[in-house]
Structure 1
Amino acid sequence: MPELVVCVDVGSTFTKAVLVDVDAGRLLATAQHPTTRPDVMTGITAARDELAAVVEAGVGSAWFPQSAVGESIPDGPVNPRGVAGPQDVAGPRGVPGPRGVAGAQGVARLQDVARPQGPARVEPSQGSFSADDVRAADLLACSSAGGGLRLAVVGHERLVTAEAGQRVALSAGGRVVHLSSGRLTPDTVRELRQARPDLIVLTGGTDGGNADVVLHNARRIGIARIPVPVVLACNRDAAEEAAGELRRRGRSVTVTANVLPSIGTFDPGPAREAIREAFLDHVIGGKGLSRNGSRINGRSFRQLVRSPTPDAVLTGVEALADGRGLLLVDVGGATTDVYSVLPADQAGSGTAAAGDWLSARTVEGDLGVRSGALGVVRAALAEGLIDDEEAQRLGDYASGLVTAGGSGRQGESAPTGGPGPTGAVQVVGEARPALGAVPADEMGLAQEVGLVEGRGLVGETGLAGEAGPAGESGPAAEGGPRGASAPAHELDVTLARLAVLVAVRRHGRATRPGGDPRPLRDVGLVVGSGGVLRHANAGELAGVLQPIVADHSGGWAVPEKAGLAVDARYALFAAGLLHGRATPEAVRRLAAAGLEPLSGQR
């Protein structure tokens, strides 16, 4: 029997689960269930039981078909719940599977990035397994529920250590709710407190450089008695003294390596790991997401969760890139996240004071296809992507979406001290308008655009059991072509196209006047993700993603030769969770399992 693991992503709205064969890196089945309050463990158990029910439906010792890019797909069983196997259906968007993809140039590039090295065919899992085996399987989780990880970054100079700290915070899966630089004053301390962070990242000075500012800030944070842990990633010569200033005032402190040991040298790894550990030790237990004594297979929610969801996704993206360049855009209802991994030979090629960073994530808190829709219209108009007439048409529709869907959690405050929108800013740079609160689940996952509860074996068509809310139409319907009227769906796709283009521009542009853009020109693969794209047809997908590789007037290094694909199954978080447990080849295979290349590429 294969080693089975259930990987779970607990979002604020839905809990998603996938069943994985760890040794083969194969995605076996998917399920989802509404996230349950006040105890998310109830929803986790229900999602796992959905996976078990799929296995119990009669698959026996047969293995599930796989559609990792570049791998041959043997005949598989028809899903007993009515989802056709790989030979019977082209997919919900009419996109052919890997055998029917046109455009040799784009496909070759996509295969180079996504396919693990080794045999082209994945061997079937050996032995059979039962529903009881699924229920007994090890369970790994990540979480963005309860607003995810809210981070405050306090640095020395805005364009140096504060920017470096912010980059680390975003790559660690946090949402930056406060960004300040220089000496903390009573006013900035008050803004820091009002931002209600879960954790403070304190940076300042290169190794051997100025220590006065970071020591001053450590004292002020300690005196303020803001009851959250501090990750200290500053000038190593000042680190212990700064930690002492905090500890003697009762603060919990983790000292890690300097994020910017020298000008132009960015070292995010140790701080990213320290933030992840602080999230697990201090944040998960304090969110009130599960009841005391609630257990699954003898483990508490804290023991199940390995990382914030965005951190797991970024780790999956890194595995998929495998030293080559990759750009992924995840369009959600409230935010649009952009992940990029530079080709290995491009790392450190820029001239920014804070250095280039091999892997990066940015969150655009004013860009989404539901509560963030008005922000998309405003940003697209400011970028010159639409004219006044189109802005009026889209604005009328977006206003209806915001009215129908609400603008987020009550009491959510906008970030203070930073120049960006509500949510996290990409890096220190141009100001963008805040649009109110950001909903708690900011990852733009499969359910954020209106999917209903579903389950099924993994075939070639994406998340088995996916469906939009039947019979709904108009702005409140979020199920794409199966749930919204045709005009509404057309407008959703237009919003997605604009959100994607604005988000990648912000991600790729220079962070300061005269600086270099992020070196993305040699990226080999661009991936679109999010529910609105999973429900789009082939032509709509091309309309959303192809402008990325042709955006030569956008002020960034356009990856014009990149292949294009859509994240059809959302397996990247699972690949991230299994990093370090499964073999690198298996992790890469799993990360690639959800990708479908666009047909008809150049």
Structure 2
Amino acid sequence: MSMFDVLVAEIGSTTTVVSAFSGVKAGVPMLAGQGQAPTTVLAGDVTLGLSQAIDALEGQLGFPVVWGEMMASSSAAGGLRMTVHGLVYDMTVKAAREAALGAGANIHLVTAGELSEVDLEEIRRINPNIILLAGGVDYGEKQTVINNANRLAAGLSPAIPVVYAGNAAAKQQVCAIFTNQGFSVKAVSNVYPRIDQLQIEPTRRVIHEVFEKHITEAPGMSKTRDLVGGRIIPTPGAVMQAACLLREEIGDLVILDVGGATTDVHSVTEGDPEIAALLIAPEPLAKRTVEGDLGVYINADNVLALTDCERLCEQLCCQPEQLAHLRTPLPVTMAEKEFAGILTELAATTAIKRHVGTIEYIYGPTGRMTLARGKDLTAVKWIIGTGGALTRLPVGHCILNSINAPRNNGYLLPHNAQALIDRHYVMAAAGLLAERYPEAALHLMKQSLGIA
């Protein structure tokens, strides 16, 4: 039996990974061992998979595991279903969307301007876990957001929590509208306080808090909370915290996390100053996009739809009906790994193209003008792969290298960034550790990436 400082559990939609760390408090952190098992949402209790992952860890170490404290992140409940409502899409709606995605929420509906009855019907159908209402720069136009607050409060169940991140001049009136109808409403700083300024961190923090309450809805998750001394945060949020900490040490970076259900892209970069001068709208320093349709197990069919199935079968030397048998949460055979590698490459390259910005040309009275739209990754020095697929499959490094692109291809992709693999699969765990033990978290990440 051995006592470890911290045990970190990452409860994903497909697999549960448990990592044991020693020396965290002494300043000499080390990953002592790691166990994984399929997540047992379908069995009705995620703690079954957690127990199996701990058993796997004990089997690897050869002795029972005892720990001082446990931390956890999760995406097993499927992420927060969120709807976002603002005034102008390219301004407050976009800012609110960035805040939501960075906190681990899944956006199911985005509206701009005044809500219609059709919008309300769609919100009722989605039955969101949280509504994010924004609109207007501070002390600018406020009637639209007040009208939207009235429509939402009158037309929806008060069981849905509301976050208000809009015009400060309307805050008191908007909060009163929801409170009078029995809603729980939390007001934070405007996500778009002035033209060309994003302020998304306060909104992200509140969404994290809502996630902590929501995560108990995953079957058996309330039992997990009894084991965890600290917060249970969304896994994408943990990875974002790790990315921001790591960027301070090694420079601008992008992290790809290809999972069983989703593919997440996190980038932390200010971009090239020359590109920034061409941007038609501001972008956040730390940006996350989640592709809820791209996964290598649960959403493998969506990824397969992106390729020529007949050609894929020729490559794998199999019949179309055999593809289903190659799909597994934990690939073991060479055929399963090859199939998973192909899905991973498709998911990663598609997700990065959805995340990155582009150079565009328009023609006016003075001739051709060059504009930039979206996130600029051209200054990125490091492309990092984390998550089960990219860290466990032999093709991970090649996939990451392929993200680099020529300067003239239209996408604002990295040009000569170096590919790194989170070999020890600690990125999400390091994000959890970062709140309490930032130096240990940074050391573990650099060690895992081979740059210590």
TM-score interval (norm. to shorter)? 0.7 to 0.9
- Which residue in the other structure is 2:365 paired with? none
**CA–CA separation in structure 2 for the residues paired with 1:332 and 1:371:** 9
- Which residue in the other structure is 1:591 paired with? 445
Aligned pairs for 1:5-44 within 5 A: 5-21=6-22, 22-23=24-25, 24-36=28-40, 37-44=43-50
1:262 aligns with 2:202: no
Provide Cα deviations, 1:235-264, integer angstroms capped at 9, x if missing partner.
111112111111110111111111111111
**Counterpart residue identity of residue 318, structure 1:** C
Query: Are residues 190 and 404 of structure 1, via their aligned partners in 2, closer, same or farther at CA, if it must alter by over 3 Å?
Result: farther
Contact map agreement 1:575 1:590 (CA 8 A) in 2: yes
Provide Cα deviations, 1:557-592, integer angstroms capped at 9, x if missing partner.
22112111122222111111112211x322211223
Contact map agreement 1:257 1:270 (CA 8 A) in 2: yes
- Which residue in the other structure is 2:239 paired with? 313
1:47 aligns with 2:53: yes
1:476 aligns with 2:327: yes
**CA–CA separation in structure 2 for the residues paired with 1:193 and 1:247:** 19
What TM-score comes out, normalization by structure 2 length?
0.85
Q: Which runs of 5+ in 2 are unaligned?
A: 362-370
- Which residue in the other structure is 1:555 paired with? 410
Contact map agreement 1:401 1:475 (CA 8 A) in 2: no
> Per the alignment, in what secondary structure is the counterpart of residue 152 of structure 1?
strand
Report deviation, 1:42.
4.2
**CA–CA separation in structure 2 for the residues paired with 1:42 and 1:377:** 31
Question: Which of the numbers 566, 580, 602 marks the counterpart of 2:421?
Answer: 566
**CA–CA separation in structure 1 for the residues paired with 2:177 and 2:319:** 51
Query: Are residues 354 and 258 of structure 1, via their aligned partners in 2, closer, same or farther at CA, if it must alter by over 3 Å?
Result: farther
Across the aligned residues of Structure 1 and Structure 2, the Cα RMSD in angstroms comes to 3.3
Query: Are residues 476 and 52 of structure 1, via their aligned partners in 2, closer, same or farther at CA, if it must alter by over 3 Å?
Result: closer
**CA–CA separation in structure 2 for the residues paired with 1:146 and 1:225:** 23
Question: Which of the numbers 391, 397, 400 marks the counterpart of 1:534?
Answer: 391
Provide Cα deviations, 1:281-314, integer angstroms capped at 9, x if missing partner.
4x134x153387x4x7xx6378654311110111
Report deviation, 1:203.
0.9
Aligned pairs for 1:310-389 within 5 A: 310-322=236-248, 324-342=251-269, 349=276, 352=279, 355-376=282-303, 379=306
- Which residue in the other structure is 1:123 paired with? none
**CA–CA separation in structure 2 for the residues paired with 1:541 and 1:268:** 32
Question: Which of the numbers 490, 500, 505 marks the counterpart of 2:353?
Answer: 505
Query: Are residues 271 and 137 of structure 1, via their aligned partners in 2, closer, same or farther at CA, if it must alter by over 3 Å?
Result: same
- Which residue in the other structure is 1:386 paired with? none
- Which residue in the other structure is 2:400 paired with? 545
Provide Cα deviations, 1:125-160, integer angstroms capped at 9, x if missing partner.
xxxxxx4xx434211111111212222111111111
Report deviation, 1:354.
5.1
Contact map agreement 2:164 2:185 (CA 8 A) in 1: yes
Report deviation, 1:344.
8.5
**CA–CA separation in structure 1 for the residues paired with 2:155 and 2:136:** 22
**CA–CA separation in structure 2 for the residues paired with 1:9 and 1:3:** 17
> Per the alignment, in what secondary structure is the counterpart of residue 89 of structure 2?
coil
Aligned pairs for 1:100-119 within 5 A: none
**Counterpart residue identity of residue 590, structure 1:** L
Contact map agreement 2:359 2:412 (CA 8 A) in 1: no
Q: How many residues align?
A: 433
Contact map agreement 1:372 1:402 (CA 8 A) in 2: no
Contact map agreement 1:347 1:358 (CA 8 A) in 2: no
**CA–CA separation in structure 2 for the residues paired with 1:213 and 1:275:** 23
What TM-score comes out, normalization by structure 1 length?
0.65
**CA–CA separation in structure 2 for the residues paired with 1:191 and 1:401:** 37
**CA–CA separation in structure 1 for the residues paired with 2:321 and 2:194:** 45
Query: Are residues 402 and 543 of structure 1, via their aligned partners in 2, closer, same or farther at CA, if it must alter by over 3 Å?
Result: farther
**CA–CA separation in structure 1 for the residues paired with 2:343 and 2:59:** 37
**Counterpart residue identity of residue 391, structure 2:** R
Contact map agreement 1:371 1:401 (CA 8 A) in 2: no
Report deviation, 1:548.
1.1
The higher-RCO structure (CA 8 Å, 6+ apart) is 1
Q: Which runs of 5+ in 1 are unaligned?
A: 58-130, 381-389, 406-473, 598-602
> Per the alignment, in what secondary structure is the counterpart of residue 90 of structure 2?
coil
**Counterpart residue identity of residue 264, structure 1:** D
Question: Which of the numbers 121, 126, 129 marks the counterpart of 1:195?
Answer: 126
